[in-house]
A and B are shown apart, each in its own frame.
Chain A
Amino acid sequence: MSDELDDLKAAFDAAIPDPDPARKAANLAQAEENFARAQGSRTEARQTHQRGPLEALLNGVLTMLTTMTSRSALTATTALVAVGLFVVLPQTSGMFEPGATVPPAPETAAEENVAQADALMLEEPMIVAEEPVVIESDADASVMADRNTARPALQSLTRNSAASRQRALSSPMVEPAPRHALPETEDLGLMFEVPIDPFVRPESNTEDFANAPANPLKVTAEDPVSTFSIDVDTASYSVIRQSLMAGTLPPRDAVRIEEMVNYFPYDYAAPEGPHPFKPTIRVTPTPWNTGTQLVHIAIQGDMPEVSGRPPLNLVFLIDTSGSMQDANKLPLLKQSFRLMLSELRAQDQVSIVTYAGSAGQVLEPTAARDRAEILSALDRLEAGGSTAGQQGLQQAYQVAETMADEGEVTRVILATDGDFNVGLSDPGALKDFIAKKRDSGTYLSVLGFGRGNLDDATMQALAQHGNGQAAYIDTLSEARKVLVDQLTGALFPIANDVKIQVEFNPAQIAEYRLIGYETRALAREDFNNDRVDAGDIGAGHQVTALYEVTPVGSEAVRNTPLRYGETAELADPSDELGYFKLRYKRPGDAASQLIETPIQSGAAAADPEMRFAIAMAGFGELLRGRTALGDWGWAEAIALAQGAKGGDPYGYRAEAVTLMRLAESLSE
């Protein structure tokens, strides 16, 4: 070997550190764990193996970190490239003393890892009995999702607190670089295509994205009634956009189709008459299946004059924990609030409470006309410390109560990167707390910032219980959309607990499928139960729901009639496709109002608004990897959206088309 290589080798040998013993132990344990799981059926492995839940939690967190590639992670990896191979030049090989150039792993990290390994050991005997329960909870969640939205929401809170704790425990280990628990293999000959290893991401119940399996195709004769709560959240779309722009397809569970559809403003017919909003129901052929039709349900909320709206009391509860210091978090948040401030009116009041380590009020309730004072308080905010979500929330509500006056709208706006890992000791109590405050008139909206730390499910759960909107803000234009364009809507509810129930006519419709709203499904009897909470509509909001229906006699009918089933002879076959019912409460009312209307048959060509909504639903289905669309793929979805952009004054639809193109290229 020549001099160069000898020197290089010497330098390398001197510089190569020993592997961290704690991580080695953990990694070996992980490998054995995965090996055990790979053998035999998954259920068997889970039931007999004792370290399952904790490891599974860890895996879930790692998987999440893998999929949520944040900009900071990108920065971290770039930095790693930069320090890569610093070892080489021969004449300086003296500096490569072991330990001199390679800093030892921080002691805390080692301790954490040891502690974690210890925890794994200690927990072994205790967890055995619990494990099947833990595993089953995911299945339960989806079953329950069909019955009641409140329960899965609570569950996701519970799950998340566990995940958060675990994340806190393991953070020194997982922070240095994004982890790719499952490297895709570039075949060099012997390697074969790697399937999605079931043991690497075994439990979706640690995922931080709230979602449920796609709604199944229902047979009208067996189950003619579909009930769900409306959903005006848009966070899912922003998360998808952020993923795509970072060059990865979003995690499937991050895709909630109804939120993608509802992200966009539509030009629906404005309400008239006694109700604050108007449902418009139309039927149109399905672009991806000639044998089915789409029932398009459009709800347009009333848009009262902004000048006539009641005064707003806003308490900004701002997470200033250390993780918020990234440019796309606290600085973006400040800019967002600056934008919003100019839209407020003189009699509106603003207060700011922060939470980081200890919660504190940084701005007394101040009239919106004192712009300078509010802005300077905003400018003084700095990120640092850990997050104590619950404490901050309590203080924010206290402040809100001092501001509330008869006839005013009071709302707490929580801005966070979703990190509730300190203080969320009892998710159930927190949920009850928020729900109680909601009933006493203070609402809660949640704005999510940044990625990598984002705790989508917790955001969703909090906003749902607080009768508010959960939105994810990744760019200044998104901030403008959420806070300025929709200011009155997000902050000024016109109807609470809006539920939809559709009964399909088995004489006309053989099968039907609700597209999206998986996390919003309600039990049939909950529709008439005014105590069951549901989604809320703000001023000017639009909500869209789509059913794919298969007419009787269509060749697209998937289920053949049962041999021993009753063939119900309908005495008077109506030509209505079904019957639409909607319940809502006026803000402050305990009793609900009912809107009902038959769904008339007769499919017509879709107008651009409908076509765009349908294109977004197709976009969502494609991202979720659904096969329900048949051969209908990206090209068709893009063409449909492209041809339905309409006026698009803010460019949202054009952006969606761009995202679809990006997704198309990434999914190749």
Chain B
Amino acid sequence: MRMDVPDETLARAAADGDGEAFAALITRHYDRVFRLAFRLTGARAEAEDLTQDICTDLPGKIARYRGEAAFTTWLYRVVVNATHDRRRRRATHAKAAMGWGEVEVARRAEADETREALDWLTQAMSALPEDLRDTLALVLDDMTQAQAGEVLGVSEGTIAWRVSEAKKRLRALKEGSHE
């Protein structure tokens, strides 16, 4: 095994077609990817699916890893992108369905939502906007604000602002719940 070889070395080898390096790399990071996927989606099934998407897709992407960023930063970016992609697709479907008056679609979705959302926690948390959610997912994954900024493609200052904004909202929710 190549336990002590740095990620970046393995990644560059994999980019050059070294299958063993790729296997070692993805085995090493699988759990991390899954955990981040869970933080981003908040649902186990969704996280499993997202992780599978990434596994399916990564071989095509690794060839483009050039070592400009730390491997984990690069990998996290892949995970965040895949998450965004899922969300966007979902939004498109929802929009198309509504736009076309597919009342039944909406009705059933709503019914499921109500059933799933009996837990008031869920309802409270779905109030947090997506950018704050993404930011928190990364920061809670022991990333520095600078690293999170690099993954999300925003400045460190933006991350700091988002974190404080998220805190503010969490606090408000917490207080609201005590009333």
Instruction: Return chain A residues, CB-CB under 8 Å to B77.
Output: 188-191
Q: How far apart are the CA atoms of A73 and B41 in the complex, in Å? A: 17
Minimal Cβ-Cβ distance residue in A for B114: A82
Q: Is the CB of B126 within 8 A of A176?
A: no
- Which of A37, A85, A200 has the most chain B CB atoms inside 10 A of its CB? A85
Instruction: Return chain A residues, CB-CB under 8 Å to B131.
Output: none
Q: How far apart are the CA atoms of A190 and B84 in the complex, in Å? A: 16
17 more contacts with CB within 8 A, not counting A5-B163, A19-B34, A89-B173, are A5-B166, A5-B170, A16-B35, A19-B31, A75-B112, A78-B90, A82-B117, A83-B43, A83-B117, A85-B122, A87-B125, A89-B121, A179-B53, A189-B153, A191-B64, A194-B57, A245-B102
B81 interface residue (CB < 8 Å to A): yes
Q: Is the CB of B23 within 8 A of A74?
A: no
Q: Is the CB of A77 within 8 A of B93?
A: yes
Interface string of A57-98 (1 = CB under 8 A from B): 000000000000101001111111111111111111000000
Q: Is the CB of A23 within 8 A of B112?
A: no
Smallest CB–CB gap between B71 and chain A, Å? 12
Smallest CB–CB gap between B92 and chain A, Å? 5
Knowing A4-B171, A85-B122, say if A9 contacts B140 (CB, 8 Å).
yes
Q: Is the CB of B55 within 8 A of A31?
A: yes
Instruction: Return chain B residues, CB-CB under 8 Å to A195.
Output: 60
Q: How many residues on the A side are at the interface (Cβ–Cβ under 8 A)?
A: 76
Binding site for B on A (CB under 8 A): 2, 4-5, 8-9, 12, 16-20, 23-24, 26-28, 30-32, 34-39, 69, 71, 74-92, 102-103, 105, 176-177, 179-192, 194-195, 197, 199-200, 245-248, 327-328
Smallest CB–CB gap between B138 and chain A, Å? 12
Binding site for A on B (CB under 8 A): 14, 17, 19, 22-23, 26-27, 30-31, 34-35, 38-39, 41-49, 51-64, 68-69, 74, 77-78, 80-82, 84-86, 88-90, 92-97, 100, 102, 104-105, 108-109, 112-113, 116-117, 119, 121-122, 124-126, 128, 133, 136, 139-140, 151-153, 163, 166-167, 170-171, 173-174, 177
Knowing A27-B55, A177-B49, say if A85 contacts B125 (CB, 8 Å).
yes
21 residue pairs bridging A and B, Cβ less than 8 Å apart: A23-B52, A27-B55, A32-B19, A71-B102, A74-B105, A75-B108, A78-B94, A80-B45, A82-B113, A83-B42, A84-B122, A85-B122, A86-B42, A87-B121, A89-B174, A102-B44, A176-B45, A179-B52, A182-B57, A190-B77, A200-B57
Instruction: Return chain A residues, CB-CB under 8 Å to B34.
Output: 19, 24
Q: Is the CB of B27 within 8 A of A28?
A: yes
Nearest 3 interchain pairs by C-beta: A247-B96, A85-B42, A35-B59
Q: Is the CB of A74 within 8 A of B109?
A: yes
Q: How far apart are the CA atoms of A5 and B46 in the complex, in Å? A: 23
Q: Is the CB of A177 within 8 A of B42?
A: no
| Chain A binding surface, main DSSP class | loop
- Which of A12, A16, A246 has the most chain B CB atoms inside 10 A of its CB? A16
Q: How far apart are the CA atoms of A16 and B105 in the complex, in Å? A: 31
When the two chains form the complex, which single residue of A74, A80, A91, A105 contacts B41, counting CB atoms closer than 8 Å?
A80
Instruction: Return chain B residues, CB-CB under 8 Å to A180.
Output: 49, 53, 85-86, 89
Minimal Cβ-Cβ distance residue in A for B170: A4
Q: Is the CB of B19 within 8 A of A81?
A: no
Q: How far apart are the CA atoms of A74 and B68 in the complex, in Å? A: 38
Instruction: Return chain B residues, CB-CB under 8 Å to A12.
Output: 39, 140
Instruction: Return chain A residues, CB-CB under 8 Å to B42.
Output: 83-87
Q: How far apart are the CA atoms of A192 and B62 in the complex, in Å? A: 11
Instruction: Return chain A residues, CB-CB under 8 Å to B108.
Output: 71, 75, 327
Q: How far apart are the CA atoms of A5 and B102 in the complex, in Å? A: 40
Q: Is the CB of A177 within 8 A of B46?
A: yes
Q: Is the CB of A92 within 8 A of B55?
A: no
Minimal Cβ-Cβ distance residue in B for A195: B60
Q: How far apart are the CA atoms of A4 and B63 in the complex, in Å? A: 40
Q: Is the CB of B27 within 8 A of A27?
A: no
Smallest CB–CB gap between B89 and chain A, Å? 7
Q: Is the CB of A82 within 8 A of B49?
A: no
Q: Is the CB of A83 within 8 A of B122?
A: yes
Q: How far apart are the CA atoms of A599 and B77 in the complex, in Å? A: 62
When the two chains form the complex, which single residue of B44, B85, B166 contacts A105, counting CB atoms closer than 8 Å?
B44
